[in-house]
Amino acid sequence: MDWLEEAWRAAANKVARIAERIGTGFPHASVNGTYALEAPHWWTAGFWPGMLWQLYEGTGNGRFRVLAEGCEDRLDEVLHRYEKLDHDMGFMWTLTSIASYRLTGSENSRRRALQAANYLAGRFNLKGRYIRAWNPWSEGEDNSGIAIIDCCMNMPLLHWATKESGDPRYAHVAAAHMETVLDHFVRPDGSVYHIVQFDSATGERIQALGGQGYAPESAWSRGTAWAIYGLALSYHHTGQRRFLDAAKRVAHFFLSQLPEDSVPHWDFRLPPEATKYRDSSAGACAASGLLLIADQVGEREADSYRKAAERILESLYRNYGDWENPEQEGLILHGTGHYPEGKNVDVPLIYGDFFFVEGLARLRGTNTIFWQ
């Protein structure tokens, strides 16, 4: 892999450059070349510090650590004073406080991550055996029955809390939620639903919704990637074979749908007249999941997952990477945030950048992977 070290250096150099402006901000989507900064409660708040921690560990550049710690401090206002914390606490505190605790041993970070895990476990609906995704977006809205595929990636926070505290309740909640994912989200052909709505009083499934995908029965590619990686992580944390089997089934569907350059369109089931933008972030996230599957299967089987991930990451580096252009802060071009709402379409996305860097770190084999 002659490109790997070159790509790692290019990413580290670019992040060092854009860190001068972004500092301890919370970038989400790069619009017209500049990362828009979000409020710290937005679900994407962990990705910039998570990328800084990956690059700190891989380069030793202390500036990355200082900024990542600054982002984590800023998240305290969310942890302590924001009444609308939702299920994405896993994304947010895995890549900040767990990362910090594992790399520096900070007791304050450990306490923050345990607190976030308690909030997350508190969203479990016992009747439906799912973790509630969101809080009402508008006055009077009842979304207490909504669960979404993205939540697979929030489960590592719960497994970490069980390992750290010795209390199995967190892992029980995570396993129960992921069993619901197997029962209600993963289709027989390996594609997945984005949103499933349950009756929050009885636990009965009501319907599937299209969410960020094209339609309820389409196949949103980033949701597919969340499922691949989340299911592979569930196998890693529980040792339960059905999670690995499902991760492989979803991975096979994902790989079967890739175009020539190995970077997915934003949805795999678009009608001919629909605009076929790519979602590079789905490719980057799936690559990490494929590499984790490769680590968990026998060597002969592992090769095809590893090679598929390498193809995606190399294509992202060569065909989608923006390394020299001073007018662009994003690392990886052509992500699609929310096509149905027309938000952040065909732009760099911070989670695409994060998972690209994490994928490189996995291939280099020397870094801590914060979800594991």
Which of these is catalytic: 2, 86, 142, 150? 150
Chain residue whose CB lies nearest ligand GLY: 150
Nearest-Å Rg of the Cα atoms of the chain is 19
Residues sharing a CB contact under 8 Å with residue 265, sequence separation 6 or more, in sequence order? 221, 257, 259, 276, 277, 278, 279
Q: Which residues of 88-111 are buried (b: 16+ CB within 10 A; e: fewer)?
A: bbbbbbbbbbbbbbbbeeeeebbe
Other beta carbons less than 10 A from residue 171's beta carbon? 19
Phi-psi bin for 100: left (phi > 0), alpha (psi -120 to 50), beta? alpha
CB nearer to ligand GLY: pick between 70 and 340:
340
CB nearer to ligand GLY: pick between 43 and 93:
43
State the burial class of residue 59 (Cβ atoms within 10 Å of its Cβ: 0-12, 13-18, 19+): middle
Tokens of 63: 């500036």
- Shortest Å distance, C-beta 147 to ligand GLY: 13
CB nearer to ligand GLY: pick between 35 and 43:
43
Q: Is 183 annotated as a binding residue?
A: no
152, 15, 157: which is closest to 96 by C-alpha?
157
CB distance 137 to 143 below 8 Å: yes
- Shortest Å distance, C-beta 222 to ligand GLY: 5
- Shortest Å distance, C-beta 263 to ligand GLY: 16
List contacts with ligand GLY (CB under 6 A). Answer: 43, 150, 212, 222, 337
CB nearer to ligand GLY: pick between 7 and 148:
148
Q: What are phi and psi of 185, to 5 degrees?
A: -110, -40
- Shortest Å distance, C-beta 92 to ligand GLY: 11
CB nearer to ligand GLY: pick between 222 and 265:
222
Q: Is 88 annotated as a binding residue?
A: yes
150 classed as catalytic: yes
Q: Is 150 annotated as a binding residue?
A: yes
Q: Which amino acid is at 117?
A: A
Question: What is the per-residue DSSP string for 189-243?
Answer: TS-B-SEEEE-TTT--EEEEE-TTSSSTTS-BHHHHHHHHHHHHHHHHHH--HHH
- Shortest Å distance, C-beta 149 to ligand GLY: 9
Which of these is catalytic: 2, 73, 76, 88? 88
22, 31, 26: which is closest to 343 by C-alpha?
31
- 197 beta partners: 146, 207
- Shortest Å distance, C-beta 158 to ligand GLY: 17
Whose tokens are 């790509």? That residue is: 7
CB nearer to ligand GLY: pick between 58 and 156:
156
Q: What are phi and psi of 38, to 5 degrees?
A: -100, 165
Would you please indicate which residues are annotated as catalytic (active-site) residues? 88, 150
Annotated binding-site positions for substrate: 88, 150, 222, 226
